[in-house]
Amino acid sequence: MTKSMVVLGSTGSIGTQTLDVAEKYNMKICALTAHSNVKLMEQQVRKFRPAIAVMYDEAAATQLRTAIADTDTQVLCGMEGLIEAATMDGADVVLNSLVGMVGLEPTLAACSAHKDIALANKETLVAGGELVMNTVKEAGVALLPVDSEHSAIFQCLQACPDSKFLKKLILTASGGPFFGRTRDELQNVTVEQALAHPNWSMGAKITVDSASMMNKGLEIIEARWLFDVTADNIDVVVHRQSIIHSLIEFTDNSVLAQLGVPDMRIPIQYALTYPDRVTSPAGELDLTKVGILTFDKPDYDTFECLTACKTALSKGGTSPAIANGANEAANLLFRQGKIPFLKIGELVTGAVANVKSVPITKLSDVLEADRTAREYVWQAVQ
């Protein structure tokens, strides 16, 4: 089991649930980082006494420094602070639950500092792909998935002794709040409606990604890198109840699934205790209460983000980083009420088609693709 841990993004949904697990099992917390939630960070610092606390926002760091002046915790800020936390001595595992591309550099730095990674920041793998996987291999560290779907596949793969027996991965998707709706019916949906996820309680960015199905597109790309399979060997099935978290199919057409109540503490904990299992604060699954499990085909025309991600993956190079960068910009514009919901898919599709994609040889290729994709979106909505 993980002995000591750094939590990047500790005040978010995954971060707070990670600290629930850490508290239950007395894991040592070496560093915590957040964007700007000073109040919650202060509580976390007082409870877990990390050596370092990072506020990404500089003004928030100044406030936190005053608030916890009576403690021994050192307060840092910005990307520099994140990297310092991600590479600090004494930590075994870095749990990365940052939101967005900002998670990429700390992941790379943590790998190079020989930390195992528990990854909840999907943008890291989507944008960095091969670069991240090569860094993981070179450093000889473990990369353990926290996302529920990838954790499910990882758990199923424990029963697959050789990758030659694996035929495909089947990712389940809840379909979000807008499953079954036509483009016409989605013309005027509001931010509040997009934020009302039927099964999972998550942060705003990922909840909107779930409504647009961009989240599943990102997860396809993430799965391609995590499990070294081709895009053609990854299927998506809409499963409204979010009880089956994903499945794998073997060459003999036998299919294995992982099930559980939709509670992120199960996959978070597995990433931290792997290969062991311990009791969980999450509830038991009562199949007789669930009753019916349903499966549907995704609607690739209406939810075009999903199609754009598949296109980006087959184009390769920086195309997935472009899809991700365009989505981060478009998702925010939608949440700010500046563009309608369907515009997100249009912008991501447009960016993948029009922004120049190049092979990735270094980090700056990814950062440049991300920047250009955001620029494309901002220009397009002028």
Query: CB–CB of 211/261 below 8 Å?
Result: no
Provide the token pair at 227: 């499990």
Q: Is 304 in the site for Mg ion (CB under 5 A)?
A: no
Q: Which residue of the chain is nearest Mg ion when measured via CB?
A: 147
Residue number, 13 or 63, with CB nearest to Mg ion: 13
CB of 282 to Mg ion, least distance (A): 16
Residue number, 147 or 328, with CB nearest to Mg ion: 147
Partnered with residue 171 across adjacent β-strands are 236, 246
Q: Maximum CA pair distance of the chain? A: 62
Query: CB–CB of 82/106 below 8 Å?
Result: yes
Query: CB–CB of 327/344 below 8 Å?
Result: yes
Q: Is 42 in the site for Mg ion (CB under 5 A)?
A: no
CB of 98 to Mg ion, least distance (A): 15
98-157 positions binding Mg ion, by CB under 5 A: 147-149
Cβ burial 284-306 (10 Å sphere, 16+ → b, else e): eeeeeeeeeeeeeebbeebbbbb
CB of 216 to Mg ion, least distance (A): 8
CB of 151 to Mg ion, least distance (A): 9
Residue number, 109 or 126, with CB nearest to Mg ion: 126
Residue number, 147 or 299, with CB nearest to Mg ion: 147
Given the structure tokens 């690739």, which residue do they identify? 300
Residue number, 29 or 119, with CB nearest to Mg ion: 119
Q: How many residues sit in the footprint of Mg ion (CB under 5 A)?
A: 3
Distance (Å, rounded) from C-alpha 83 to C-alpha 78?
9
CB of 93 to Mg ion, least distance (A): 20
Residue number, 106 or 267, with CB nearest to Mg ion: 267
CB of 111 to Mg ion, least distance (A): 22
CB of 241 to Mg ion, least distance (A): 15
Distance (Å, rounded) from C-alpha 350 to C-alpha 363?
24
Instruction: Count, in order, helices (H) and strands (E) of the chain.
Output: 17, 11
Residue number, 135 or 207, with CB nearest to Mg ion: 207
Distance (Å, rounded) from C-alpha 239 to C-alpha 245?
9
Instruction: Sheet containing 4-8: give its strands across.
Output: 74-77, 52-55, 28-34, 4-8, 93-96, 116-119, 143-145
Residues near Mg ion, by CB under 5 A: 147-149
